[in-house]
């Protein structure tokens, strides 16, 4: 059943730039896994509900100013305050689908110019994901026009064009939060690339949503069945 029979749950992380589709894909993956009868929870970082999370949220909304290293450590603390709950959920057989994790922590802070080793240090000892799915998109890319296959029939064309505009509207542009600027996102992408390791699977986030969804389902199912008997480990940084 992919997780309930005594094996531990999988720690599955989704990473990517802002507007890469992480949140929608996490939600879709979560309901798919639940439908399979798999014990699963959807988590996200920053977790804006804790008191640390509220400080982070105010910073992101430009309602407060914090020194770059200070906010970096708050993001990290926000993961540390969840570590023991995370571990007990996983050991209890629950799979966690997590929208952003330590890779966001390092890539975003390093993009501000902080030393990468310094950025990694407070993450050491947090749980290592079993799978990191990186949704690869160009910064501020709206919708993959090239990926939409038009049928030759006019009546289907109308339907497809409508779908296309609907998707573009759904995705929208960046919001007003800190970091949501194209130039900054490009630097974040470079740092993400330098963090790739053997747990990463890069998925082309510009493909149609359903295609991406299908790829994620397969990656997640494989991961869940493979890690049932594997020990939980810590981030190797």
Q: Which residues bind ligand 2DT (CB under 6 A)?
A: 18, 45-46, 60, 75, 100, 104-105, 108, 179
- Give the nearest distance from C-beta 215 to ligand 2DT in angstroms: 21
Q: Which of residues 15 and 18 has its CB atom nearest to Mg ion in the complex?
A: 18
- Give the nearest distance from C-beta 100 to ligand 2DT in angstroms: 4
Rounded Cα distance between 226 and 2, Å, is 9
- Give the nearest distance from C-beta 104 to ligand 2DT in angstroms: 4
Spatial strand order of the sheet with 131-136 comes to 40-44, 95-99, 11-16, 131-136, 200-204
Q: Which of residues 179 and 200 has its CB atom nearest to Mg ion in the complex?
A: 179
Q: Which of residues 23 and 225 has its CB atom nearest to Mg ion in the complex?
A: 23
Q: Does 136 bind Mg ion (CB under 5 A)?
A: no
Q: Which of residues 128 and 164 has its CB atom nearest to ligand 2DT in the complex?
A: 128
φ, ψ (nearest 5 deg) of residue 127: -70, 140
- Give the nearest distance from C-beta 177 to Mg ion in angstroms: 5
Query: How far is CA 116 from its chain centroid?
Result: 20
Look at residues 226, 223, 192, 151 and name the one whose alpha carbon lies nearest to residue 20.
192
Residue 73 interacting entry, from ligand 2DT, Mg ion, none, C-beta within 5 to 8 Å by type? none
Q: Which of residues 36 and 196 has its CB atom nearest to ligand 2DT in the complex?
A: 196
Look at residues 191, 184, 179, 192 and name the one whose alpha carbon lies nearest to residue 59.
179
Look at residues 136, 184, 189, 164 and name the one whose alpha carbon lies nearest to residue 22.
136
Asked whether the beta carbons of 114 and 178 are under 8 A apart, the reply is no
- Give the nearest distance from C-beta 18 to ligand 2DT in angstroms: 6
Q: Which of residues 135 and 223 has its CB atom nearest to ligand 2DT in the complex?
A: 135
Asked whether the beta carbons of 95 and 12 are under 8 A apart, the reply is yes
Rounded Cα distance between 15 and 96, Å, is 14
Q: For Mg ion, which residue of 2, 10, 12, 18 counts as binding (CB under 5 A)? A: 18
Q: Which residues within the stretch 148-207 sit at the binding site for Mg ion (CB under 5 A)?
A: none
Residues that bind Mg ion (CB under 5 A): 18
């Amino acid at each position: 059943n992919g997780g309930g029979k005594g094996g531990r749950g999988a720690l599955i992380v989704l990473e990517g730039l802002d507007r890469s589709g992480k949140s929608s894909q996490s939600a879709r993956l979560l309901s798919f896994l639940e439908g399979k009868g798999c014990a699963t929870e959807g988590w996200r970082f920053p977790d804006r509900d804790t008191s640390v999370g509220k400080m982070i949220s105010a910073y992101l909304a430009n309602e407060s100013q914090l020194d770059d290293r200070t906010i970096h450590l708050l993001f990290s603390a926000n993961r540390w305050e969840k570590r023991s709950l995370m571990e007990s959920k996983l050991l209890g057989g629950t799979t966690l689908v997590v929208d952003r994790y330590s890779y966001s922590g390092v890539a975003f802070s390093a993009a501000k110019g902080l030393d990468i080793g310094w950025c990694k240090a407070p993450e050491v000892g947090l749980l290592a994901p079993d799978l990191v799915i990186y949704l690869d998109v160009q910064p501020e890319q709206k919708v993959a026009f090239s990926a939409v296959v038009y049928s030759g029939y006019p009546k289907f064309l109308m339907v497809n064009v409508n779908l296309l505009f609907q998707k573009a509207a759904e995705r929208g542009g960046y919001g007003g939060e800190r970091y949501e600027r194209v130039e900054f996102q490009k630097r974040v992408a470079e740092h993400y690339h330098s963090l790739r390791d053997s747990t990463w699977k890069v998925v082309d986030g510009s493909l149609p949503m359903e295609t991406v969804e299908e790829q994620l389902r397969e990656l997640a199912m494989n991961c869940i069945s493979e890690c049932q008997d594997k020990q939980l480990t810590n981030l190797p940084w």
